[in-house]
Structure 1
Amino acid sequence: MSLARARLLVTLLASLWLAACARAPIEVAPDPVQSDIAARLKADIDVLASDQFAGRKPGTPGAKATFEYIERRMGEVGLVSGTNDPGSYWRLAVDLVEAVPQTGQLTLGVGRRAVTLTEAEAAVYTPRRRALAAGGPGTGVPVVFVGYGDGSVLGDALAGAAALMLADPGRDRTRREALFRQRATAVVTVVPDAEALATVRRNAERGRVELASEQMDTLSAYITDAALGRVLGEKRWEQWKREALKADFAPLELNLAVTIEATSDRREFPSQNIIGMIPGNVPGSGAVLLLGHWDHLGECGPPEAADRICNGAADNASGIAMMLELARRLKAGPPLGRDIYVLATSAEEAGLLGARAFVKTPPLPLASIVAAFNFDMMAVAPEGSPVGIIGRGHTPALDAAILEVLARKGRLIGDQSLADSFLQRQDGWALHQAGVPSVLLSSTYGSRAILDPFLLSRYHRPDDDAAQIELGGTIEDLLLHEDLIRQLADPERYPPAAAPQP
């Protein structure tokens, strides 16, 4: 064979080999570690998001099944009790109250004329089973117009009075609470129109769950601007509103009779936070807290729907599953210097209530927690997604540790404005307000392109089920947390912040 023919044959064989490779790409074997993690995560999510748990609403049989399951899994993972209470191994009590409005009526009077407002003009609510208040001339109870203020300039003089305030969106709830703290017997809020009143009614009539320790004894009424003007007289009412806009406005006692009454279906019931721990081997060096909420909404689909159960697979069976798997890996690895506490909170969906209960009666000093990591809606993003950092910018040392681990792992940082918008909407906020360095790290919150489709299609809907979860980003985020928490749990690698100087 000539040299030229030999070269041609070699070239032909090489071309055939390359073509075969192009037709049949080499398959990369899956990472067995990640496969095992995915299987364990999926197993926990499948159980917690099953119809058997009925949406994990506090105060239901599904809730009881949920915290019993978490207790069993904490034991299997190798955790010990984190309650520091020999009488309660896993459980921290969260006492709740739910009030669902039943009836309400508002009657106003000027002189001898009394007008009972219609449902299109007014609404009245109380958390009590029945509440009644009367104020105005001849009652000994003044009716005070506070305009856009909160009555604080009156101090104790507001005690026992009925307050009338103008709506100021974004501030109204805070102002009402301030008036009730000054022992106002009732607060009447003037809303702009019937549409605004309908919004109040829609929000209020779903009922409200509160911590029993935080519930205020309130009687709240809402009336449309037009209805109040009709009763008072348009000229008088317009004058009072103009007065309220002045910088030197002072609350006015009105010659207005007010009778307010309401009833509600009130239910008091216990729930539970579940807490375990991995003891560290350096006593007195502080703790790292992992937390995620176990609750969801129960049945929240339309009454006519075939499937009404909101299973909450991503929100937040995924957070509990991730926290349990992370705790398992931390427990199975090298010893840790600091204690690791693992907290499953109740009633997050009702307003971070379980986290707030934890802050009120913590089983360890809050000042000893060097960092808290929240796990919420963790199974949404695919592998390779950028990481959102909720809580960034509040604790420089913690930020630095997070950024160092992200860089070492080659993870990209996502849209910070998106992450910031969720700061007050997750359990870490309750800890942050109590001075505990708290963050939520997740690829779920790194990109609107990832988060928005979930929020628009599955969030708080029956479609958030186990079949829809995405574990690619979850596993990456889990391994990120493991690396970071091992660093923070080492007192030499992450010393506690210096105590403030007197």
Structure 2
Amino acid sequence: MKIVHLFAATAIALVAVPVVAADTGSFSPQRLSQHIQTLGSDAYEGRGVNTRAEVKTIDYIVGQFKAAGLQPGGEVVNGQRQWTQRVPLLQSEIAGDPMVTIQNAGGGMRLTQGNEISVRAPQNGQNQIRIDNAPLVFVGYGVSAPERSWDDFKGQDVRGKVIVVLVNDPDFEGGEGDFGGKAMTYYGRWTYKYEEAARRGAAGVMIVHETAPASYGWNTVKNSNTNVQFDIVRKDPAAAHTPFETWIQRDVAVELFRKAGLDFEQAKQAAKRRDFQPLDLKSTVSATANAKVETITSHNVVGLLPGKAHPDETVIYSAHWDHLGIGKPDANGDNIYNGALDNASGISHLIEQARAFAKGPRPDRSVVFLAVTAEEKGLLGSEYYAANPLYPLSKTVGVLNTDSMGLNGPEKNFSISGTAKLDLLDDLIAEGKKQGRYFTADPHPESGGFYRSDHFSFAKAGVPAISFKAGNDLVNGGTARGEAIAREYTEKRYHQPDDEFQSVWDFRGQAEDAQLLHMLGERLANSREWPNWSSDSEFRATRDQSGADRAGSGGERG
């Protein structure tokens, strides 16, 4: 029998092959499917933070946790443990469209929201954006990395200026250099560009969008940045955010450089070198916008299965429940950003993982099931938990995060987001071999996946953490089909209204992945071991600082 799968511009004919299924344990493809179909439906309105859909989503997850047999694992209020943890957030939304103009010797250039530019609602504590003829300066990749003897600013005072920067690392195009080659470092993330600009007192940032180094198209940038924005509540928000945080289309940058008598591609090449010097773009930018800014309360959802022998030690399964909610309509008029894959699939796993643990033998250590908020707004729910843990991070054995799981049938392999070396990964690989599966390093480390999922919030706090990633070597179709599906999703569905439930999805692969993560969780929850980061990991020192709390509770590795 032939099965034809249509992708963006490619029709791939595949012959169905017998599937030798890995162990799926008690994980039902049908139950996994039902959760995704429910949470990814229009009835849940894209699960936006601080909307009526948040209440509905939380009620669903809590109801499922109760039915699975968990106990409330959230904060304690009036002596009673709750199902949630309150997460205070700063919410900011631009009223109407911002007015943005660039002036140079060639005249004026108006940039329209969502087309040439994507302006984020202000998160610096102000309820308006007011930029008046701020000079524009190109600072390459906007990186200051003393440990790599790299400084794109070269003493340039950018206070009161708007910096124009490239996304990703200086190594991206060449594939080698001081930043680990293709594997993106944190210096390559757009979040870092904004943070560094704020530290230097810049008036704003324009990140030049290019699809390959960003790892997604302009539609994703537009849909993620022109809607309601959130941040954690900060004592000094201006220290973390400039007044004007934006992305611009590559064509805008090319024209901007041309009018300054510069060549954009030549400037990009220069920015790859350590001796790069900032460039005056001989232009100014002005911008005005008003915003509604308020402090709101969102929620993490927390279920608990207490351990029978060491209840003060925890293994955490996590996934984010939020997506983009209701936004601007696409070409078909659809304005609900359902987030079926991203991340109703992760929540479906979390619910069924809870069911499997609750119905099985009680583990020695406690298992926490954490559905976090506001991942799409900057990993905010997990960042808040890591700063305000309900269970001590020093005695958190590890975090197993799931974000956008594989829904395309059984996989021969599996992976994690980004590159990292830690005992937790060694354990995952060992359990995978029991399923007859092999580990593949992230095939696209240049996308910065390690910094884009909630496990990163825990890693920064020293807790061993991974974000599981489905394999790309499919039993039916191999890596050719797996990569084609991934490309189609990124181009056509990621952070777009078309991330909807698909009747062609095959949930057997997700069930196998859930069983693999269950085997790993059981291993962690019933051992006396404390996995650690590799000796050369940037997170090792933080973890080691809390080693005294774990003394006498089993062995550290590495």
Same fold at TM > 0.5: yes
Are residues 1:408 and 2:434 paired? yes
2-side partners of 1:259 and 1:32: how far apart?
59
Q: Match of 2:111, as an amino acid?
A: E
Flag the 1:285–1:398 CA change in 2: closer, same or farther, 3 A: farther
Q: Match of 1:273, as an amino acid?
A: N
Q: Please, which of 111, 122, 128 is the counterpart of residue 119 of structure 1?
A: 111
Q: Which residue of 2 aligns with 1:167?
A: 165
- Between Structure 1 and Structure 2, the one with more strand by share is 2
Flag the 1:375–1:224 CA change in 2: closer, same or farther, 3 A: closer
Q: Which residue of 1 aligns with 2:231?
A: 211
Are residues 1:278 and 2:305 paired? yes
Q: Please, which of 482, 501, 507 is the counterpart of residue 450 of structure 1?
A: 482
How far off is 1:456 after superposition? Answer: 1.0
How far off is 1:32 after superposition? Answer: 13
User: Mean alpha-carbon deviation: is it higher for 52-61 or for 168-177?
Assistant: 168-177
Are residues 1:418 and 2:443 paired? yes
What CA deviation, in whole Å up to 9, does each residue of 1:33-90 have, x standing for no partner? 9687334334433332333212222233222211111112212222222224225712
1:341 match: secondary structure: strand
Task: Tell me the C-alpha RMSD between the 2 structures.
Answer: 4.7
Flag the 1:149–1:60 CA change in 2: closer, same or farther, 3 A: closer
Are residues 1:40 and 2:65 paired? no
1-side partners of 2:460 and 2:193: how far apart?
20
Q: Which residue of 2 aligns with 1:335?
A: 362
- Between Structure 1 and Structure 2, the one with more helix by share is 1
How far off is 1:246 after superposition? Answer: 10
2-side partners of 1:467 and 1:149: how far apart?
42
How far off is 1:116 after superposition? Answer: 5.4
Q: Which residue of 2 aligns with 1:15?
A: none
How far off is 1:275 after superposition? Answer: 1.0
Q: Please, which of 91, 95, 112 is the counterpart of residue 84 of structure 2?
A: 91
Q: Would you say the 8 A contact 1:279–1:340 is kept in 2?
A: yes
Q: Which residue of 1 aligns with 2:177?
A: none
Which structure 1 residue ranges, 5 or more long, are not aligned? 1-29, 137-142
How far off is 1:330 after superposition? Answer: 1.1
1:55 match: secondary structure: helix
Q: Would you say the 8 A contact 1:391–1:439 is kept in 2?
A: no
Flag the 1:416–1:90 CA change in 2: closer, same or farther, 3 A: same
Q: Which residue of 1 aligns with 2:516?
A: 480
Q: Which has the higher contact order (CA 8 A, sep 6+)?
A: 2
Matches within 5 A, 1:76-155: 76-86=67-77, 89-94=82-87, 95-100=89-94, 102-106=97-101, 117-119=109-111, 125=119, 127=122, 128-134=126-132, 147-148=139-140
Q: Which residue of 1 aligns with 2:3?
A: none
Q: Would you say the 8 A contact 1:287–1:368 is kept in 2?
A: yes
Q: Which residue of 2 aligns with 1:55?
A: 46
Matches within 5 A, 1:17-416: 37-86=28-77, 89-94=82-87, 95-100=89-94, 102-106=97-101, 117-119=109-111, 125=119, 127=122, 128-134=126-132, 147-148=139-140, 161-170=159-168, 173=190, 174-184=192-202, 186-187=203-204, 202=222, 206-207=226-227, 209-213=229-233, 216-219=241-244, 260-268=286-294, 269-283=296-310, 286-299=313-326, 302-303=329-330, 305=332, 309-383=336-410, 385-390=412-417, 393-395=420-422, 397-409=423-435, 411-416=436-441
What is the aligned-residue identity percentage?
23
Q: Match of 1:477, as an amino acid?
A: D
What CA deviation, in whole Å up to 9, does each residue of 1:87-113 have, x standing for no partner? 571222332424336222447599xxx
TM-score, normalised on structure 1?
0.72
What CA deviation, in whole Å up to 9, does each residue of 1:288-316 have, x standing for no partner? 11011112333569546376544333332
Q: Which residue of 2 aligns with 1:11?
A: none
Matched positions, count: 449
Flag the 1:33–1:253 CA change in 2: closer, same or farther, 3 A: closer
Flag the 1:349–1:499 CA change in 2: closer, same or farther, 3 A: closer
Q: Match of 1:219, as an amino acid?
A: F
Q: Would you say the 8 A contact 1:151–1:179 is kept in 2?
A: no
Q: Would you say the 8 A contact 1:405–1:480 is kept in 2?
A: yes
2-side partners of 1:358 and 1:156: how far apart?
37
Q: Match of 1:187, as an amino acid?
A: G
What CA deviation, in whole Å up to 9, does each residue of 1:226-259 have, x standing for no partner? 55886xx859xxxx99x999978888999x9967
Q: Match of 1:70, as an amino acid?
A: I
Flag the 1:368–1:60 CA change in 2: closer, same or farther, 3 A: same
Q: Match of 1:132, as an amino acid?
A: R
Q: Would you say the 8 A contact 2:46–2:337 is kept in 1?
A: yes
1-side partners of 2:429 and 2:127: how far apart?
52
How far off is 1:318 after superposition? Answer: 2.5
Q: Would you say the 8 A contact 2:317–2:350 is kept in 1?
A: yes
Q: Would you say the 8 A contact 1:165–1:189 is kept in 2?
A: yes
Q: Which has the larger radius of gyration?
A: 1
2-side partners of 1:244 and 1:375: how far apart?
36
What CA deviation, in whole Å up to 9, does each residue of 1:407-452 have, x standing for no partner? 233x211532427554333222332233221223354455543353
Q: Would you say the 8 A contact 1:285–1:338 is kept in 2?
A: yes
Flag the 1:263–1:487 CA change in 2: closer, same or farther, 3 A: same
2-side partners of 1:406 and 1:72: how far apart?
31
1-side partners of 2:452 and 2:245: how far apart?
25
Q: Which residue of 1 aligns with 2:8?
A: none
How far off is 1:463 after superposition? Answer: 5.9
What CA deviation, in whole Å up to 9, does each residue of 1:454-494 have, x standing for no partner? 551574443631634322112222222222211111233x3
